[in-house]
């Protein structure tokens, strides 16, 4: 386990940028249930993937230095959004080792919203794009 | 061959569903890309045809160096605050200000949308789900991915209903003013939010949407709200919608796995 529940005084520049620009990840809720200024950074094995609307969830067994294992819940965007960015229901499977960075729920110690998911070497497991065909706006 | 290249160039998962399947019958450039600057299409009777998939015209950017910001999504700013482009914001009545103060103090947790209630219009135009317009001479149908919802807009000349039973989408009729389709709506519920920050709208509201298809790829919607209970004067905002092609609607049934409202417990 790596710094599983530490709350950082400030976010990394990258994470801060993402959160600032995306104040409501999927429009389904205000995200006030999360402490978006704090950070969760854990490593472990995926135990379950819920590929359902309005948000996909992944569950990760995280073992601390003293050998205790805790099952974390991480909220992702909707499967629809993820599929449009090239991800599939099979992109993550139980048993996969992942490093997850996110923001913790305010009142639940093992629930967080995921912002980055990487493999053990730090390589992004999910990369996508929001790039689509779009017209030029004519009024501003 | 061009179309094959368009399909082959799709990302991983391109063959799942029809996420990257070329839309037939649309103007394309020599490269095979859709010609979104082409003239707006028209129906056989000469009216602008708004049929197609639409999404708020939000610039697409990749904020992350490795494109791995999972929470990154295209999203209209109006989703947060429908009056964000108005110099002085929306003209809330004192009653509305009290409502919003309470909603803000509670972190927006009473938003019906968070509890998977239907996507009401005009809010649905700003949500990060797609709409599809199906236009016929007598009716426009607007489908929306959130909860696989539908909305009817009658174009057959009928009047708005008198004292209708309030509903999420209300009751809509449309008429043409030149190339602009003017949609009038009444009979909407008292408990809807127009945006995430909780801008109210009440049963006393008359909502007008003026749809103009600027060209093949762009639609403008002027949203006007006349709601004397919630606003001190009528107001209007204009949003832009981008045509989305070479893909399909995907259902997003919110109640299927709604797990956020449990986190509101203290």
Query: What are the beta bridge partners of residue A58?
Result: A49, A74
Would you call B215 and A135 a contact, using CB atoms and an 8 Å cutoff? Answer: yes
Instruction: Give chain A's domains with CATH numbers.
Output: 13-24+33-118 (2.40.50.140)
Would you call B196 and A27 a contact, using CB atoms and an 8 Å cutoff? Answer: yes
Q: Which residues of B touch A135 (CB under 8 A)?
A: 36-37, 57, 215-218, 242-243
Question: Would you call A132 an interface residue with chain B, using a CB distance cutoff of 8 Å?
Answer: yes
Tell me what the pLDDT averaged over chain B comes to: 91
Residue A9: pLDDT over 90:
no
Q: Which residues of A touch B68 (CB under 8 A)?
A: 116-118, 124-128
Question: Would you call A107 an interface residue with chain B, using a CB distance cutoff of 8 Å?
Answer: yes
Q: What residue in A sits closest to B113 (Cα-Cα)?
A: A28
Question: Would you call A32 an interface residue with chain B, using a CB distance cutoff of 8 Å?
Answer: yes
Q: How far is B87 from chain A (nearest CA, A)?
A: 14
Picking from A14, A17, A24, A58 by the largest number of B CB atoms within 10 A of its own CB, the best residue to mutate is A24
What pLDDT is attached to residue B66?
67
Is-contact B255 B146, C-beta < 8 A? Answer: no
Tell me if the pTM is above 0.90: no
pLDDT range class, residue B10, cuts 50, 70, 90? very low
* Helix (H) / strand (E) containing A115: strand A111-118
Query: Cα separation of B165 and A99, whole Å?
Result: 52
Q: Which residues of B touch A29 (CB under 8 A)?
A: 108-109, 111, 113-114, 260-261
Is-contact B42 B49, C-beta < 8 A? Answer: yes
Residue A2: pLDDT over 90:
no
pLDDT range class, residue A21, cuts 50, 70, 90? very low
DSSP codes, B141-201: EEEETBTTEEEEEE-S-PPPPSSPPPBSS-EEEEEEETTEEEEEEE-B-TTEESSTT--EE
B171-177/B131-135 β-pairing = unpaired
* Helix (H) / strand (E) containing A75: strand A69-75
Q: Which residues of A touch B81 (CB under 8 A)?
A: none
Query: Cα separation of B47 and B57, whole Å?
Result: 23
CA A78 centroid distance within chain: 11
Residue B216: pLDDT over 60:
yes
Would you call A133 and B145 a contact, using CB atoms and an 8 Å cutoff? Answer: no
Query: Cα separation of B248 and B132, whole Å?
Result: 9
Asked if residue B122 has a cis previous peptide bond (ω within 30° of 0), the answer is yes
Q: Mean per-residue pLDDT for B177-200?
A: 96
A57-63/A111-118 β-pairing = unpaired
Q: How far is CA A91 from CA A73, A126, B203, B204, in A?
A: 17, 8, 46, 48
Pull the structure tokens for residue B24.
């037939």
Residue A130: pLDDT over 80:
no
Its ipTM equals: 0.87
What pLDDT is attached to residue A134?
47
Query: Cα separation of A76 and B104, whole Å?
Result: 25
């Amino acid at each position: 386990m790596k710094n599983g529940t530490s709350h950082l005084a400030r976010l990394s520049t990258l994470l801060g940028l993402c959160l600032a620009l995306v104040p409501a990840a999927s429009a389904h809720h205000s995200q006030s249930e999360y402490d978006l200024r704090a950070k969760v950074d854990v490593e472990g094995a995926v135990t379950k993937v819920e590929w359902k609307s309005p948000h996909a969830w992944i569950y990760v067994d995280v073992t601390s230095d003293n050998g205790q294992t805790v099952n974390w819940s991480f909220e992702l965007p909707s499967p629809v959004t993820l599929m449009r960015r090239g991800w599939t229901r099979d992109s993550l499977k139980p048993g996969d080792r992942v490093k997850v960075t996110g923001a913790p729920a305010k009142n639940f110690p093992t629930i967080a919203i995921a912002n980055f998911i990487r493999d053990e070497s730090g390589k992004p497991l999910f990369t996508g794009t929001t790039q689509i065909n779009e017209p030029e706006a004519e009024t501003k | 061959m061009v179309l094959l290249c368009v399909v082959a160039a799709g990302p991983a998962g391109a063959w799942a569903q029809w996420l990257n399947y070329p839309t037939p019958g649309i103007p394309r450039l020599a490269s095979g890309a859709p010609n979104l600057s082409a003239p707006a299409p028209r129906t056989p009777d000469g009216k602008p045809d708004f049929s197609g998939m639409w999404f708020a015209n939000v610039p697409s950017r990749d904020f992350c160096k490795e494109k791995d910001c999972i929470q990154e999504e295209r999203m209209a700013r109006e989703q947060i605050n429908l009056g964000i482009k108005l110099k002085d914001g929306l003209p809330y009545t004192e009653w509305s200000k009290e409502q919003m103060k309470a909603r803000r103090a509670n972190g927006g947790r009473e938003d019906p949308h968070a509890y998977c209630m239907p996507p009401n219009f005009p809010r649905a135009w700003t949500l990060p789900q797609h709409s599809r317009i199906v236009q016929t001479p007598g009716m426009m149908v607007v489908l929306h991915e959130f909860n696989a919802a539908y909305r009817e807009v009658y174009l057959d000349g009928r009047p708005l209903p008198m004292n209708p039973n309030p509903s999420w989408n209300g009751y809509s009729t449309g008429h043409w003013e030149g190339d602009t389709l003017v949609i009038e709506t009444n009979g909407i519920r008292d408990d809807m939010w127009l945006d995430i920050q909780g801008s109210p709208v009440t049963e006393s509201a008359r909502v007008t949407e003026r749809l103009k298809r600027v060209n093949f790829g762009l639609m403008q919607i002027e949203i006007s709200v006349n709601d004397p209970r919630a606003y001190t004067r009528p107001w209007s905002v204009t949003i832009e919608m981008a045509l989305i092609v070479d893909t399909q609607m995907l259902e997003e049934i919110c109640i299927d796995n709604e797990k956020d409202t449990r986190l509101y417990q203290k």
